[in-house]
């Protein structure tokens, strides 16, 4: 399972950030949210972004104490807080900025898929976030691509 991001539907409301941070920090704290909405206000482009729980995860590879491991049930790469040194190697290594650092607790923080029930997906009002099986994901992507192609063919046809 993976959180699928559909930026074209995102309105930039940041509800996902508010609820994610609340679930994890018990305060509304977008700066500590595991999911972030990147915004280009002028262009009107909003892109939600969150760890994609990579197959060969750089954070996992680079962690010197084995504090990051996959939760076999949910598929999430999780940080074991009791082991984490706060060395920030994972923060540096993730090519997508999927891991952040909490200076107060001196720990790496990242999305853990909320134990299989992602809060952000539950609260996102637009469908910009969805939680789906990989197979369905792949098919959905293909369908999206095909739709674009259909439009394109239609446009040339006319």
Partner 1 sequence: MRYQGYTGKYLEVDLTTGRIETRPVEDKLAETYLGANGFGTRLLWERVGPEVDPLSPENIIVFATGPLNGTLMPNSGRMEVITKSPLTGIYGDSNAGGFLGPELKFAGVDFVVFSGRAAAPVYLRIEDGRAELRDARHLWGKDTFETEELIQKELRDPGIKVACIGPAGENLVRYACIQATMSRSFGRVGGGAVMGSKNLKALAVRGFGPVRIADPEKFYEVATRSHFGIRGNDIYPAVSRYGTPGIVSIMNGIGRFPTKNFQLGGYDQADKINAEALREQYFVKDVACYGCPVACDKIYRVDEGPYAGTEVRSFEYETLGGYGASILNPRLDSIIKAGDLCDRLGLDVISVSRAISFAMELYDRGILKKEAFDGLNPVWGNIEDALELTRRIAYKQGIGALLSQGVRRAAAEIGHGADHYAMEVKGQEIASQDGRAQQSMGLAHVTSSRGADHLKGFPTIDETGYPTEARRRYGEQYLPDMADPRSTKFKGFLIKDGEDYAAVVDAVGTCKSGGNFVLAQLYWDDVAGAVRYATGMELDADGLKVIGERIVNLQRAYNALHGISRKDDRLPKRLLTEPNYQSTKEGSVCRLEEMLPEYYNLRGWDAENGLPTVARLRQLALDDVVERLGPKLKP
- Return residues touching partner 1 (CB under 8 A): 11-15, 18-19, 21-22, 25-32, 39-42, 44, 123, 125-126
Site size for ligand SF4, by CB under 6 A?
Answer: 26
Q: Is 45 helix (H, G, I), strand (E, B) or coil?
A: strand
* Least gap, CB of 64 to ligand SF4 (angstroms): 24
| Helix, strand or coil, per DSSP, at residue 112 | coil
Closest separation in Å from C-beta 9 to partner 1? 8
The nearest distance, CB 128 to ligand SF4, in angstroms, is 4
Q: Annotate 90-152 with three-state secondary structure.
A: HHHHCCCCCEEEECCCCEEEECCHHHHCCHHHHHCCCCCEEEECHHHHHHHHHHHHHHHHHHH
Lookup: tokens for 143 = 């369908």
Q: Identify the residue among 2, 4, 14, 91 touching ligand SF4 (CB under 6 A).
A: 14
**Choices 67-75, 112-120, 134-142, 149-157; region in contact with ligand SF4 by CB under 6 A:** 112-120
59 phi and psi, to 5 degrees? -60, -40
The answer to the question of residue 48 lying near ligand SF4 (CB under 6 A) is yes
The Cα–Cα gap between 33 and 16 comes to 8
Query: Which residues of the shown chain bind ligand SF4 in the complex (CB under 6 A)?
Result: 10-16, 20, 23, 34-35, 37, 46, 48, 50, 111-114, 118-120, 124, 126, 128-129
């Amino acid at each position: 399972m993976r959180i699928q991001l559909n930026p074209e539907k995102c309105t930039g409301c940041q509800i996902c950030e508010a609820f994610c941070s609340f679930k994890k920090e018990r305060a509304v704290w977008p700066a500590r949210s595991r999911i972030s909405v990147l915004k280009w206000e002028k262009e009107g482009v909003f892109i939600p972004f969150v760890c994609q729980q990579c197959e060969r995860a750089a954070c996992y590879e680079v962690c010197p104490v084995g504090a990051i491991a996959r939760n076999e049930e949910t598929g999430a790469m999780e940080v074991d807080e009791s082991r984490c040194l706060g060395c920030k190697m994972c923060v540096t290594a993730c090519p997508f900025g999927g891991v952040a650092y909490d200076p107060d607790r001196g720990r790496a923080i990242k999305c853990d898929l909320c134990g299989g029930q992602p809060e952000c997906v539950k609260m996102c009002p637009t469908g910009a976030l969805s939680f789906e099986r990989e197979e369905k994901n792949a098919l959905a992507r293909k369908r999206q691509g095909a739709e674009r192609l259909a439009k394109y063919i239609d446009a040339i046809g006319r």
